[in-house]
Amino acid sequence: MDAIKVISNRESIPQSRTLIEEAYRKIKNMIFEQEFIPGQRLTNKDLSERLNMSRTPIINALNRLLQDGFVGFESFRGFYVRPIDLQEVWDAFGVREALEVYAVEQAIKLNDPNDMIALEEKVREHEKYRPPHYTRKKFLLDLDFHLQIALLAKNRILKYLLRRNFEHIFLRVSLDNYDPGRMRSSAAEHRALVERMKKKDVLGAIEVIRGHISKARENVIKCLSDETINERRDATRL
């Protein structure tokens, strides 16, 4: 049975959309929390036991994750968490830059003092949480800040696309090797961006957001490189 057949079967199985959505959300969250790591198989039996669900909503959820690009499928192997490669990182960050530059431009154009107050609150929430190393919670606070800018742009589709872009990049990247120093520099960049937006300095704000995204991309690429080195080191010990 190939991946195309697996996807087509999804439409022929009568199933509660609520259960499928729940399974989809929970499996994606387990990948995010690294309960499943890139390359690891996702079996119906294991997921059924973990989620206390029948296999039908789980197979539908896996098909949806397959279409979204978060998992892969191979004959005789089944579903697995799809690893992210360097080209995919470059592509995703390129899209993110285009989305966020547009979001910043629109947010400044529609400048609302109350909106800026809400954005500054997101900055404070991000700065207030200071773990010793980069955590999933820190990532979510960072995401909230960027989604708030999309919200200021008054564009729900933009917010949706930006969230999906963040998920596409970070869902399958281990944060173990993420530079903790980026937490401090990232917070400073957030504040610098807000200040330029408050002054309606479009060019200055775009320069800050592009630099911010470039540094984030470099850090993710370093994480992937470190993971590869660690995997090779572990392999030589076997």
Handedness of CA 117, 122, 125, 126 (dihedral sign): negative
Range of the domain at 31: 3-81
What mean pLDDT, rounded, does the chain reach?
86
Q: Which of 131, 217, 211 has the alpha carbon at shortest distance from 166?
A: 217
pLDDT at position 170 is 84
Provide the b/e sequence for 38-52 (b: ≥16 CB within 10 Å): beeebebeebbeebe
Using CA atoms, how far apart are residues 174 and 165, in angstroms rounded to an integer?
Answer: 16
The pLDDT, as a whole number, for residue 181 is: 84
**Weakest-pLDDT range from 10-19, 23-32, 150-159, 220-229:** 10-19
CATH number, domain of 75, equals 1.10.10.10
Residue-level pLDDT at 150: 95
Q: Is 83 left (phi over 0), alpha (psi -120 to 50) or beta?
A: beta
pLDDT band at 13 (very low <50, low <70, confident <90, very high): very low
Q: For 167-199, write each residue's pLDDT tens digit.
A: 888 888 877 778 888 888 999 999 999 999 999
Specify the 3-state DSSP secondary structure of 230: helix
Lowest mean pLDDT among 5-9, 162-166, 219-223: 5-9
Query: Given a cut of 50, is residue 8 above it in pLDDT?
Result: no
Amino acid 16: pLDDT: 60
The rounded distance, in Å, linking the Cα atoms of 186 and 32 is 21
Last-in-domain residue among 81, 115, 134: 81
pTM of the model: 0.80
**Count of other CB atoms within 10 angstroms of residue 94:** 12
Q: Do 137 and 19 have their domain in common?
A: no
- 151-166 in b/e form (b: 16+ CB < 10 A) is bbbebeebbebbebbb
DSSP state of 72: E
Q: Quick check: 15 pLDDT over 80?
A: no
Q: Are residues 99 and 26 in the same domain?
A: no
* Residues 197 and 93 occupy one common structural domain: yes
Q: What is the CATH number of the domain that holds 134?
A: 1.20.120.530
How many independent structural domains does the chain possess? 2
Q: Which of 63, 81, 99 is where one domain is finished? A: 81
% of the chain beyond a pLDDT of 90: 62
Does position 89 have pLDDT exceeding 60, yes or no? Answer: yes
Domain limit, last residue, from 29, 53, 81:
81
Report pLDDT digits (tens) over 109-154: 998 888 899 999 999 999 999 988 888 889 899 999 999 999 999 9
Q: What is the mean pLDDT of residues 21-28?
A: 94
Report how far residue 151's alpha carbon sits from residue 159's, in angstroms, rounded to the nearest whole number.
6
